Amino acid sequence: MSFCTNCGAQIAEGAKFCTNCGAASTRPESGRKTVYDGNVHKCPNCGEALTAFASVCPTCGYEIRGKSAVASVQTFYSDLSKAQTTEQKDRMIRNFPIPNTKEDIIEFMILASSNILGEDERDIYEAWLAKFEQAYQKALILFAGDPDIVRIQQIYSNCQINIDTEKRRKIGRFTTDTIIRNIAACVGAILMIASVFIDRTGGGSSFLELISYIVLIASAASLFKRGASVIDYAVGAASGLLMILLSFLLFNGSMGQLCGGIVLIIVAVNYFKSLNHSKK
Is residue 59 within 8 Å of residue 45, measured between CB atoms? no
Is residue 137 within 8 Å of residue 149, measured between CB atoms? no
What pLDDT, on a 0 to 100 scale, did the predictor assign at position 54? 58
pLDDT at 32 over 70: no
CA–CA distance, 186 with 47 (Å, rounded to integer): 73
Higher pLDDT, 190 or 118: 190
pLDDT at 280 over 70: no
- Per-residue pLDDT, averaged over 134-163, amounts to 89
What pLDDT, on a 0 to 100 scale, did the predictor assign at position 27? 57
Residue 74: which pLDDT band, with cuts at 50, 70 and 90?
A: confident
pLDDT at 29 over 60: no
- Per-residue pLDDT, averaged over 198-209, amounts to 84
11 has which bridge partners?
2
What pLDDT, on a 0 to 100 scale, did the predictor assign at position 45? 81
CA–CA distance, 54 with 48 (Å, rounded to integer): 11
- Per-residue pLDDT, averaged over 148-155, amounts to 90
Cut 0.85: pTM above it:
no
Other C-beta atoms within 10 Å of 107: how many? 19
For the stretch 233-262, pLDDT in tens is 999 999 999 999 998 888 878 888 999 999
